[in-house]
């Protein structure tokens, strides 16, 4: 293995740059290093002004999503040696406005997440004295969709979100479906009103790349297609039984 | 002594290029998949033309057959045929994603949902081939 | 000019404790305005990486008294027993509330919530959501908090100091990372929920953000920190990264073996090895004893020398692929990814790594500190329910129980307070100038953040680790003092405003140095061994002098002052910690 590898990192400082530029750094090539280790090496020893987000370094907090050689990745779970001999291009997550260097503005996602009403909705005002019963099979029906770490790699991979910033996006819609599919939830119709919309589920053209890049196997594309089927069934029901219980 | 500082950050909004779909193979594959519906429309048009030719009598139908034998048409139809197959295969493979069927507590694998589609396709194709070829 | 906003109750930190407290304030009084001020987006908080589970009495054959006894004995009798009694009573209620809010607890076939055994507990009472309990808990709390309109979030705001006037806390000063603006956020009550400080040490399971900022804020404002010498080492962290391999791997039946394939814990008064896990025995012993056993094995030359230092092996092979994929899928994922090892067929190299701070900001049962208007809950606080050693799966319910209590107490306090005065704002202006002068002006400093941080981590690991001595601690306190001086000579490459993460790293380092100072000093003064604090020069527990919490107060320019506060004993007089029987 070579001693070093070259990183080509996006730099952007809003105060002094009109647009992002690329800066190269030589970092040691260690077999146990992930791309995040290389970025921290630069920050600690070479150039303290390089800014990026990170925290858990074990693929569960979702902070460190970036584009590595054009693919959306968690830099804490992407091994440097896989890119030898390099160079390795590290850029901020695609489809988001760039705040500084490798940091993007994710406030749009937070707004859309809240719009999905991602909480358990029940009709009764007081909960039962014990737990809501839920069998392991019922848990399985939505468990996969609950594994989303909000890393937003799916938004970076979604061309619809890139072309239309009003689109709700894979994670926000998948999270709505997580609650819809939870046997304890009774809020499907409330969420339907919000999401059965051209910027909601119907904006999705099933490119499927969101599922491909998801590091937690959430399968947001699957969630959205399931949602479409449910929405269609509900719409037909509402046509046939206009005054029926929704 | 504090100098008023301009605090409004200038976020940079990168624009998605019109040719975004050329950047990665999965995107190109997606666009081709969507465009394959054009080949379906093409065969619908060809079929309608064929029906009209039939309605107008043998001379008209002979002209139609001559038209279909033209090398350009043959190439066009071959390409369209490939894309219709591509269209059907991608459709069958994606359909299970929308249907989370659960049997006995476990999710039925995608293949088991796609497979009946393929089987039905094969059976219908075999039926059509038998009708066309026996006479 | 300074931006000012005001709220009734302000949370510093948006993790398990912070979000639970925020919701508690809103449920107590929907008219109160709540601010959640966090240096990261809430779903990035370190609660997210907790794996194993959350304890709460659930089965009919279990009882609150037994959970209390396990906790108190696990804490080597340094726990305040009134607090523990309240904790064990409210823990199951809080976990049930989370279930009602949608938390996907793992289930029995009947549909009831499932529980699993855990270290140091005599009965099975740990609720779990596969092996990502903290992740599911945090996301459930965060998503539920979105329902409450009275909660305003200040995401990516770094709090640099508490505003204190007229003997009470009146808000905070924070840097808005996106713009670099220094902002004063006033409040009638402030609750610190900013977590622990594992990053003070070399090897830790903790995320980058665990830099003890909340502890430093309280310490500098004059509130005492408590029991800072008690640092928990988790026995099974991956070498090099320090990534956590949950205790659940052992509660499902994993073995710890040394280089001879021998289950070495049997040599350390932890019982006899059985093929199935036995509660409170062997691999299900308390974390402090297991970590100490590792060091002893290392001294005997029976650990395996790995590329990143000595390790022992965690053996899960006999559990089978099906069990691992159902109960420990994340463990398998982590081992495959970061060690290239499949636990189904290979041994996992593990070593003790710093995991949790038993110590923290001194509070009472309701999260109130001695400083009026200041509350604390979660790992940042020390109530104390964990005493000298925390049992696994007690910290998630701790966040919920005390987050809720602190929220309710702060809401009641705030309702009776008048709005903060203008005097507090003068402090905020001073703070802005201080940040500008100390860090952002072009200086002639020579020290780099990383250098100082690494030296601090190395000396803490060496001198204040699993085993300490008077000499090693004296050397540590001297070194920390030296590093604090050298901190004054710091130079930053980044002197800009917008998203200056280097400035944040510098502020975090300064928090860590203050916290390290308090930890080393308390450890030096406690001349006994108890729980996680093991002195080679004082190997016995000394209840006569030290059945008390250390309270450490900052003294500018000199060593901190340490006082002792007796432990509250209600129904369980101090006894022997017995495991393996």
Number of residues that make up chain A = 246
Structural contact between residues C175 and C181, judged by C-beta atoms closer than 8 angstroms: yes
Same domain as A209, residue A112: yes
Across the interface, do A51 and C139 touch by the CB < 8 Å criterion? no
Render pLDDT for B23-43 as a digit per residue (tens, 0 to 9). 889 999 999 999 999 999 999
Question: How high is the pLDDT of residue B65?
Answer: 93
Q: Name the pLDDT band for C418 (thresholds 50, 70, 90).
A: confident
The interaxial angle of helices A170-180 and A107-115, nearest 10 deg, is 20
Instruction: Count CB-CB contacts under 10 A for residue C69.
Output: 19
Q: Please give the average per-residue pLDDT across C354-371, as a whole number.
A: 97
Same domain as A94, residue A209: no
- Residue that has been written with the tokens 């780099």 in this structure: C448
C105 contacts on A by Cβ (under 8 Å): 131
ipTM value for the complex: 0.96
- CB < 8 Å from A in window 144-183 of C: 144, 146-147, 155, 178
Return the CATH number at A144. Answer: 1.10.1060.10
Q: Please give the average per-residue pLDDT across C77-81, as a whole number.
A: 97
Q: Of C148, C138, C157, which Cα lies nearest the Cα of C32?
A: C148
Domain boundary among A104, A128, A146: A104
Question: How high is the pLDDT of residue B1?
Answer: 38
Catalytic residue among C125, C139, C199, C234: C234
C577 in active site: no
Same domain as A66, residue A24: yes
* The total number of structural domains that make up chain A: 2
Question: How high is the pLDDT of residue A1?
Answer: 73
B7 pLDDT exceeds 70? no
In the three-class reduction of DSSP (H, G, I as helix; E, B as strand; rest coil), residue C279 is classed as coil
C156 pLDDT exceeds 90? yes
Return the CATH number at A9. Answer: 3.10.20.30
Catalytic residue among C7, C250, C280, C287: C250
C549 in active site: no
- Dihedral class, residue C205 (left if φ above 0, else alpha if ψ from -120 to 50, else beta): alpha
B13 inside domain: no
Render pLDDT for C135-147 as a digit per residue (tens, 0 to 9). 999 999 999 999 9
A89 inside domain: yes
Domain boundary among A84, A104, A124: A104
- CB < 8 Å from B in window 178-207 of C: 178-181
Question: How high is the pLDDT of residue B97?
Answer: 81
Q: To the nearest whole angstrom, how far is the Cα of B127 from the nearest Cα of chain C?
A: 45
pLDDT, chain C, mean:
95
Same domain as A144, residue A77: no
C379 pLDDT exceeds 80? yes
B59 inside domain: yes
B134 pLDDT exceeds 90? no
Query: Which range marks the domain in which residue A186 is found?
Result: 107-240
Same domain as A117, residue A76: no
Say which DSSP state A91 is in. E
B106 inside domain: yes
Distance CA C286, CA C425 (A): 48
* The total number of structural domains that make up chain B: 1
- Residue that has been written with the tokens 């200086």 in this structure: C443
Across the interface, do C498 and B2 touch by the CB < 8 Å criterion? no
Domain boundary among A71, A104, A137: A104
B79 inside domain: yes
Structural contact between residues C228 and C477, judged by C-beta atoms closer than 8 angstroms: no
B71 touching chain C per CB within 8 A: no
B4 inside domain: no
Mark the ranges of chain A whose per-residue pLDDT is less than 70. Answer: 243-246
Instruction: Count CB-CB contacts under 10 A for residue A22.
Output: 13
- Dihedral class, residue A166 (left if φ above 0, else alpha if ψ from -120 to 50, else beta): alpha
Same domain as A219, residue A160: yes
- Token readout for C20 is 């639970």
Question: How high is the pLDDT of residue A241?
Answer: 82
Same domain as A100, residue A111: no
CA distances to C262, C294, C302, C362 from C259, rounded to whole Å, are 7, 12, 6, 42
Distance CA C375, CA C358 (A): 17
> Which is it for strands C3-12 and C34-38: parallel, antiparallel or unpaired?
parallel
Same domain as A18, residue A79: yes
B3 pLDDT exceeds 60? no
Render pLDDT for C167-206 as a digit per residue (tens, 0 to 9). 999 999 999 999 999 999 999 999 999 999 999 999 999 9
C81 pLDDT exceeds 50? yes
Same domain as A166, residue A85: no
Structural contact between residues C45 and C135, judged by C-beta atoms closer than 8 angstroms: no
Render pLDDT for C307-327 as a digit per residue (tens, 0 to 9). 889 999 999 999 999 999 999
Query: Which range marks the domain in which residue B124 is found?
Result: 38-133
Sign of the alpha-carbon dihedral angle for A74, A78, A83, A86? positive
Name all chains with 3 or more CB-CB pairs below 8 Å to chain B.
Answer: A, C
B7 touching chain C per CB within 8 A: yes
Nearest chain A residue (CA) to C494: A49
Question: How high is the pLDDT of residue B135?
Answer: 66
B89 inside domain: yes
A246 inside domain: no
B23 inside domain: no
Q: Which one is predicted more confidently, B11 or C200?
A: C200
B33 inside domain: no
Q: Name the pLDDT band for C391 (thresholds 50, 70, 90).
A: very high
Same domain as A111, residue A53: no
Same domain as A30, residue A18: yes
Question: How high is the pLDDT of residue B2?
Answer: 43
Cα C441 to chain centroid, rounded: 34
B60 pLDDT exceeds 70? yes
Same domain as A150, residue A93: no
Q: Name the pLDDT band for B104 (thresholds 50, 70, 90).
A: low
Render pLDDT for C481-524 as a digit per residue (tens, 0 to 9). 999 999 999 999 999 999 999 999 999 999 999 999 999 999 99
């Amino acid at each position: 293995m070579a001693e070093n590898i070259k990183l080509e990192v996006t730099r952007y400082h809003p105060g002094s740059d009109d647009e992002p530029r690329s800066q190269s750094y030589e970092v040691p090539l260690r077999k146990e290093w992930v791309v995040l280790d290389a970025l921290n090496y630069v920050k600690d020893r070479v150039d303290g002004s390089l800014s990026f987000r990170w925290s858990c370094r074990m693929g569960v907090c979702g902070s460190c999503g970036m584009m590595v050689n054009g693919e959306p990745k968690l830099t804490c779970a992407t091994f440097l040696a896989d890119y030898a001999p390099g160079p390795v291009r590290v850029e901020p997550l695609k489809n988001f406005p760039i705040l500084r260097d490798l940091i993007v503005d994710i406030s749009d996602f937070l707004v859309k997440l809240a719009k999905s009403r991602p909480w358990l909705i029940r009709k009764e005002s007081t909960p039962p004295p014990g737990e809501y019963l839920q069998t392991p099979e019922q848990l399985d029906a939505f468990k996969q969709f609950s594994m989303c770490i909000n890393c937003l790699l799916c938004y970076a991979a979604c061309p619809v979100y890139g072309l239309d910033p009003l689109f709700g996006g894979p994670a926000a819609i998948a999270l709505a479906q997580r609650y819809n599919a939870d046997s304890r939830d009774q809020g499907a119709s409330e969420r339907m009103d919000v999401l059965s919309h051209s910027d909601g589920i119907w904006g999705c053209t099933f490119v499927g790349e969101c599922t491909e890049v998801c590091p937690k196997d959430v399968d947001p594309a699957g969630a959205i297609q399931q949602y479409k089927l449910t929405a269609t069934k509900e719409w037909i029901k509402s046509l046939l039984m206009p005054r029926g219980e929704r | 002594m504090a100098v008023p500082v301009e605090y409004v950050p200038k976020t940079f909004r990168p624009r998605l290029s019109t040719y975004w779909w050329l950047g990665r193979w999965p995107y190109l594959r997606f666009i081709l998949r969507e465009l394959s519906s054009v080949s379906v429309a093409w065969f619908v048009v060809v079929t309608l033309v064929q029906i009209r030719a039939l309605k107008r009598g043998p001379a008209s139908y002979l002209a139609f057959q001559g038209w279909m034998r033209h090398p350009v048409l043959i190439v066009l139809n071959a390409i369209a045929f490939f894309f219709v197959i591509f269209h059907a295969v991608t459709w069958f493979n994606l359909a299970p994603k929308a249907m989370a069927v659960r049997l006995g507590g476990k999710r039925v694998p995608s293949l088991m949902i796609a497979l009946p589609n393929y089987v039905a396709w094969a059976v219908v194709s075999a039926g059509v081939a038998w009708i066309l070829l026996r006479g | 000019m300074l931006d000012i906003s005001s709220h009734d109750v302000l949370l510093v930190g948006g993790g398990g404790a912070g979000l639970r407290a925020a919701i508690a304030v809103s449920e107590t009084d929907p008219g109160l305005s709540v601010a959640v001020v966090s240096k990261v987006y809430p779903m990035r908080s370190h609660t997210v990486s907790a794996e194993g589970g959350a304890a709460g009495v659930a089965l009919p054959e279990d009882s609150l008294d037994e959970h209390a006894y396990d906790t108190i004995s696990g804490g080597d009798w340094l726990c305040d027993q009134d607090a523990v009694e309240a904790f064990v009573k409210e823990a199951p209620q809080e976990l049930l509330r989370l279930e009602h809010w949608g938390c996907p607890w793992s289930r029995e076939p009947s549909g009831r919530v499932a529980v699993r055994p855990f270290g140091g507990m005599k009965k099975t009472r740990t609720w779990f959501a596969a092996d990502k309990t903290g992740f599911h808990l945090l996301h459930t709390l965060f998503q539920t908090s979105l329902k409450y309109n009275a909660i305003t979030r200040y995401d990516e705001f770094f709090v640099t100091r508490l505003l204190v006037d007229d003997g009470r806390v009146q808000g905070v000063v924070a840097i808005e990372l996106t713009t670099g603006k220094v902002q004063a956020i006033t409040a009638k009550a402030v609750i610190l929920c900013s977590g622990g400080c594992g990053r003070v040490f070399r090897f830790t399971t903790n995320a980058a953000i665990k830099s003890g900022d909340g502890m430093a804020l309280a310490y500098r404002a004059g509130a005492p920190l408590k029991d800072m010498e008690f640092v928990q080492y988790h026995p099974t962290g991956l070498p090099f990264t320090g990534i956590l391999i949950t205790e659940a791997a052992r509660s499902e039946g994993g073995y710890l073996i040394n280089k001879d394939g021998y289950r070495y814990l049997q040599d350390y008064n932890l019982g006899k090895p059985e093929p199935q896990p036995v509660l409170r025995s062997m691999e299900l012993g308390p974390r402090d004893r297991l970590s100490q056993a590792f060091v002893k094995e290392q001294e005997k030359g029976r650990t395996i020398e790995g590329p990143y230092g000595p390790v022992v092996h965690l053996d899960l092979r006999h559990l089978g692929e099906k069990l691992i994929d159902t109960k420990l899928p994340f463990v398998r994922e982590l081992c495959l990814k970061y060690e290239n090892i499949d636990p189904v067929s290979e041994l996992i190299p593990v070593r003790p790594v710093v995991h949790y701070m038993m110590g923290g900001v001194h509070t009472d049962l309701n999260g109130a500190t001695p400083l009026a208007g200041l509350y604390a809950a979660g790992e940042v606080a020390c109530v104390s329910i964990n005493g000298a050693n925390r049992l696994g799966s007690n910290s998630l319910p701790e966040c919920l129980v005390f987050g809720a209590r602190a929220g309710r107490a702060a809401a009641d306090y705030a309702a009776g307070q008048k709005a903060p005065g203008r005097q507090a704002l003068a402090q905020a202006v001073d703070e802005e100038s201080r940040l500008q002068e100390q860090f952002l002006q072009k200086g002639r400093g020579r020290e780099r953040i990383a250098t100082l941080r690494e030296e601090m981590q190395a000396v803490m690991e060496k001198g204040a680790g699993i085993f300490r001595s008077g000499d090693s601690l004296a050397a540590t306190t001297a070194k920390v003092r030296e590093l604090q001086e050298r901190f004054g000579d710091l130079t930053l490459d980044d002197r800009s405003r917008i998203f200056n993460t280097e400035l944040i790293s510098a502020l975090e380092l300064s928090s860590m140095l203050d916290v390290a100072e308090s930890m080393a000093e308390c450890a030096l003064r406690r001349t006994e061994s108890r729980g996680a604090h093991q002195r080679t020069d004082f190997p016995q527990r000394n209840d006569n002098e030290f059945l008390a919490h250390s309270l450490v107060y900052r003294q500018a320019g000199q060593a901190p002052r340490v006082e002792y506060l007796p432990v509250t004993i209600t129904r369980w007089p101090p006894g022997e910690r017995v495991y393996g029987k």
